[in-house]
Chains A and B, each alone.
Chain A
Amino acid sequence: MRLQKLKLHEHEAKTIFEKYDIPTPRGKLTTSSTLVKEVTAKLGVPTVVKAQILVSGRGKAGGILFANSPEEAENAAKRLLGSEIKGVKVKEVLVEEKIAAKKELYLGITTDRAKCSYVAIASSEGGMDIEEVAVTMPKRIVKVFIDSTYGFRLYHAHQIARKLGYMGSQMRDLATIFLKLYKIAMDYDAELIEINPLIETVEGKFVAADSRILIDDNALYRHPEYKERLIPEEDTELSAQEVEAQKTGLAYVKLDGNIGIIGNGAGLVMATLDAVQFYGGRPANFLDVGGGASSDMMASALNIVLSDPKVEVVFINILGGITRCDEVAKGILEAKKRVGFAKPIVIRLVGTNEEEGRRILTEAGIHFLDSMEEAAVKAVEIAKTGG
């Protein structure tokens, strides 16, 4: 279980687009502001300098700057390179010609749970506020569900282009781009692929100005070239605990409370967070050790949660199914040996091999409870009184 979908950088997506002949702006990826200046001089103004970071809302957070002279471009690059945007350091920028837009469109392919299929989505209202459009003007969004036996065909793409108001060669150009986008989605196992915005130029051509590709990480065995990207380090929005959890294969999400939570099964852990909040507490994290966790996994989980300085108490909620309570108990003792319990721990342990698990804990002088509600109340109480 991994927390982050494999996101491709904008420049990586554009390299793929070039391979499939989807038009992109001319530009260059670089770490040097001097080069940004030179490229701008060569491309002609205006240009746009874009931080290559994997954060959402990059434009609104100041990661995209426009320049009307080579010097301005150089300054923009200087401002971006080495700076932090949403906690992520900018190491590279993409400098590109700024395309004059007559219109900004949105094209995307993703999956639809209810229909169990891929869906092609397009809108004549592309740009930064596409999510807003989906909510406030759903009629401006065109959708075609894709039958997996026949795939996304040219006539589907024609239908969409017509609905966006295009005809003639423009209809054909737009449809061709959409078909290629679908081909990329299939070839790369993309769970989401978007061109946003797809610019309609003043001359009536289409250019992919920005793109987002999320690769299905369950399919990475078919794409070994991206495999080493799985453990992102400083270039993500993840906390130290989140990175550590990814290395161990644990599902961890940092939250901002003071009650550390460990459980088995995503649904149960979420319900545990809910119970803690119901009784007035604030969870410090979500941590799912998964099914059939070994004592070693359990020890690592405790280690990660205890390394968060905000945590005042840890609540372990285990309902053994394929996970065995004796393994969990051993893991708890192992963690105690390795790092010690500087903080109080509330344990609820029931299910497969619970007698053995409880015996191990009792012998070590560790207290446990029967019900999730009871344990949640106890954890909240400890967090409030500071132990």
Chain B
Amino acid sequence: MGVFVGKHTRAIVQGITGGQGSFHTRLMLHYGTQIVAGTSPMKGGTQVHGVPVYDTVEEAASKHRANASIIFVPAPFAADAAFEAVEAGLKTIVIITEHIPVKDAIQVMARAKQAQVTVIGPNTPGIIAPNECKLGIMPAHVFKRGCVGVASRSGTLTYEIATGLSVSGLGQSTCIGLGGDQIVGLSFVDVLKEFERDKQTKAVALIGEIGGNLEELAAEYIAKEGYTKPVAAFIAGRTAPPGKRMGHAGAIIMGRTGTADSKIEAFKKAGVDVAEKPRDVARLLAERLKKKSISTRCKSEK
């Protein structure tokens, strides 16, 4: 079973009638994800790819015993959508939407924390537990069921590293996109805790980038708690000049904090292997697992 999502996940799609929502509903269904309902105000009573559409999350969630949601609604309405999902009692919420105002994101996270709801994103490719559940927009073919837990702040770079893990035979237990915005629901530390408890996860890959201090906090946690599973990291933006924004709202270097050097140094001090190139992540983890004689074969749960 994956962390946060798995075969038990019964998800609704908020914004199911929009272009992105409808397109990815089809792909998630095709992957085998249980998409039990969708919502779109004033479109209640219709269907999208055979999935029933409701006007409100309350109706959709109660009629279909949903426990998760994936949000595709446009940025100005995304915070409302998240509040609605929290109030309807859904426990895992993936927010795909990008460009959500910071003020809204802060309010959503506070409300979710109070209700003990897990928020993944915003501005995330989502989460995938290979062969079980894909709640996101990632290309499914790069993932393969296996033993490495992956947490990432980036989208395409995750696919790059996941491909490496798949090709090497290690595969992934669960792969989580934390989201590219400044304010996101999960930190590396939150995910590390889940992977520590998860039996299928034998090793962890953290994919970070310049800006913020989530990587430094993860390194501190790993060192302090004596993390038992091997961890490898990749940091994008080693050569980015300071003070320049590299696209993501997340990737800003402010003064001396948040630089690639500071993150790499923190990880190395904590005993985390830092990959110089994306494809090195799989090699480093395979070596560590071999040294500790940990079998990388994962029981398939059929």
Residues of A within 8 A of B (CB): 1, 3-4, 56, 111, 113-114, 116-118, 131, 134-135, 147-149, 186, 189, 191, 216, 218-219, 221-222, 251, 253, 255, 263-271, 273-275, 277-278, 283, 286, 288, 291, 319-323, 351-352, 371-373
Contacts and interface: CB of A to CB of B under 8 A. Distances in A.
B75 interface: yes
For the complex of A and B, the 10 pairs showing the least CB-CB separation, nearest first, are: A267-B154, A265-B156, A266-B247, A267-B157, A219-B101, A251-B247, A270-B236, A268-B156, A266-B248, A116-B109
B151 interface: no
Given A222-B101, A273-B239, A267 B207 contact: yes
Contacts of A1: 247
Interface of B: 75-76, 99-107, 109-110, 113-114, 125, 137-139, 142, 152-160, 180, 182-185, 187, 207, 209-210, 212-214, 217, 234, 236-241, 243-251, 255-256, 276-279
Contacts of B113: 116
A3 B248 CA distance: 9
Nearest to B252: A5
A271 B210 contact: no
A278 B75 CA distance: 38
A268 B160 contact: yes
B238 to A, nearest CB: 5
Contact of A111 (B183, B237, B245, B246): B183
Nearest to B103: A189
B100 A266 contact: no
A267 B213 contact: no
Contacts of B277: 271, 274-275, 278, 372-373
A305 to B, nearest CB: 15
Q: Is the interface of B mostly helix, strand, loop or mixed?
A: loop
A49 B138 CA distance: 54
Contact of B210 (A131, A265, A270): A270
Contacts of A131: 255
Contacts of B248: 266-267
A321 B125 contact: yes
A219 B103 contact: yes
A288 B212 contact: no
A266 B239 contact: no
A57 B241 CA distance: 17
A266 B159 contact: no
B276 A278 contact: yes
B207 to A, nearest CB: 7
B236 A218 contact: no
Given A113-B184, A268-B160, A274-B277, 12 more contacts: A3-B247, A113-B213, A116-B109, A135-B256, A148-B107, A186-B103, A191-B102, A267-B158, A268-B157, A270-B236, A271-B234, A319-B159
